[in-house]
Amino acid sequence: MGRSVRAAFVVLVLTALAVAGLGRPAHSAPTAGRTVRAGQDLVRPFPMRHDGEGQLALTVSAPGVSWGVAGHESAVLSAYVDGRYVTDVVIGSETPTDRAFFLGHLSAGGHVLRLTLAEDRSRGGTSATVRGLRLGEVDPGSAAYAVAAHAPVLYGRTLAQWGGDFQNAYTDVPLIAWHEVTDEPGGYHQVRYTIVWSNEDGGTGLAPASLMARWGRTTDIEWIYHAGVYQLEVDPDGNAVPGTEFYQAPQHGEVAFAGRYEHHHPVLQTCTDNNNVCDTLDAGAQAHPMRFTPSVAQELPAGAAREIMMDRNPWTYWMTAQEMVREGKTEAVADPATPELSDERNYLYLVVKKTTVADQNSNPWIGAAVGVRLKGDDTLYRSDHAQPGWSVQRDDPAATTVELPPGTTAADIASISVLRAPGNGDNGGEIRVESIERAMFLDASYRPEPYFIADHAVSGVTLTAAAPEAVVWTAAS
């Protein structure tokens, strides 16, 4: 697809999904707060003007629930359309939170949404409050339809070692999703879908502090499915291009999708403890399903770090931080001199853009770390805590964090530097630092504060074995 055609495609997607992350509203009258508890479902009839993809947005909270308190982690609402089970909504907070989901392909005419409290999977939550419920549609023939129609249906994890059935009601819950669009030879575009989980119990999740150093977060962000889709004037039904459908399988493999569909939606299941997926459902998911259809209306900006999407959905920081506390993964007394994870409000969150002049797929590889000096303090606080293998290897705009003494603010920072940090040996490569894309702290409620550094370009900084550190920002800059 040519650049101008792709630009038109993206504009159409954003236009069609502009209303609260939905398509054109089919029924958008706001609702007052409604309490949903056992035997008291919320029922909402709604029309679809055309055959298309149904969309749902709502604001949810649950009294007496906290994702950070064992046994009281969540209230779960299950959504049904015309009696068909569509998605679970895991609510982990008493604070109202905006959420959005897709409802699958629906025919023109009248339909009925029902939200019911799922007592079998709720963890301490005996009711939920729903406000601002909005329903919408994405019609075939619009560019937005290609994105909405192929969004994956994701069934929950049922691994015995993490609790078996319904475990996503208290661990590694899917939070948000988005899409990306890229041009492909042959006149079609590729749509790729990514999901953020609250953490990963396996993989690097076993060392959460290394996640903060290497990835700038304790959530797990994984692409789960991508497909090529022709321009709609070529294929008005929005079918996938044969041979282009792949999912991220166990061991991070890219495997051709061979599972079943709900209309065009591929059906997947989280099947590993580091949140890779399978295209078949295990016995647990078939017998006691949890399923998730988070809206994919949001689009990752071209060239941006994926963590920017968490910044745009700030409640995700609270969820992951609470999971770390509840699971005993934070140190009892915060100490930036130790590599252990502390309260996530003690970290400076950064995105750095760099280019490595070396083969990053070789072993050894060359990584980068960020160092911070505070006013009146000679300590160099490093993102990698000087731990081998904890530096940032990738050259995309890459997120990392630096643990600082509790209570540190932007006004306390004297300088920020970037350090050349070999991961396991040294291949002699150089690192060219291009910019600090953003720097921020979390506030008392674990919400991102305004960036105090944004798009700060760095000129002529190259890190070598002989000159492995350079200051890239000072308080006076």
Q: Measured between alpha carbons, how far apart are the two ends of the chain, in Å? A: 42
Whether the predicted pLDDT of 7 surpasses 50: no
Average pLDDT over residues 254-269: 97
Whether the predicted pLDDT of 91 surpasses 50: yes
How many other C-beta atoms can be found within 10 angstroms of the C-beta atom of residue 243? 8
pLDDT in tens, 166-208: 999 999 999 999 999 998 888 889 999 999 999 999 986 558 8
Cα radius of gyration rounded to whole Å, the chain: 23
CATH number of 3-319: 2.60.120.260
More confident residue, 391 or 25: 391
Rounded to a whole number, what is the largest CA-CA distance in the chain? 70
Q: What is the pLDDT of residue 341?
A: 97
Q: 444: pLDDT confidence band, cut at 50, 70 and 90?
A: very high
Residue 21's contacts (CB-CB under 8 Å, 6 or more residues apart) are 55, 57, 100, 295, 297, 298
Whether the predicted pLDDT of 334 surpasses 80: yes
Q: What is the pLDDT of residue 234?
A: 72
Whether the predicted pLDDT of 455 surpasses 60: yes
The region of weakest confidence among 86-100, 117-131, 193-207, 370-384 is: 193-207
Mean pLDDT (the chain, rounded): 91
- DSSP reduced 3-state for 4: helix
Q: What is the pLDDT of residue 307?
A: 98
CA distance 266 to 277: 12
Q: What is the pLDDT of residue 13?
A: 37
- Asked if 363 contacts 271 with a C-beta cutoff of 8 angstroms, the reply is no
Average pLDDT over residues 439-463: 97
89 sits in the region (left: phi over 0; alpha: psi -120 to 50; else beta) called: beta
Q: 58: pLDDT confidence band, cut at 50, 70 and 90?
A: very high
Q: 477: pLDDT confidence band, cut at 50, 70 and 90?
A: low
Q: What is the pLDDT of residue 278?
A: 98
Q: What is the pLDDT of residue 236?
A: 72
Average pLDDT over residues 379-406: 96
How many other C-beta atoms can be found within 10 angstroms of the C-beta atom of residue 14? 14
Q: What is the pLDDT of residue 16?
A: 35
Most confident of 143-152, 199-208, 232-241: 143-152
The region of weakest confidence among 88-102, 222-236, 317-331 is: 222-236
**CA dihedral in degrees (192, 198, 202, 206; nearest 10)?**
130
Q: 350: pLDDT confidence band, cut at 50, 70 and 90?
A: very high
- DSSP reduced 3-state for 212: helix
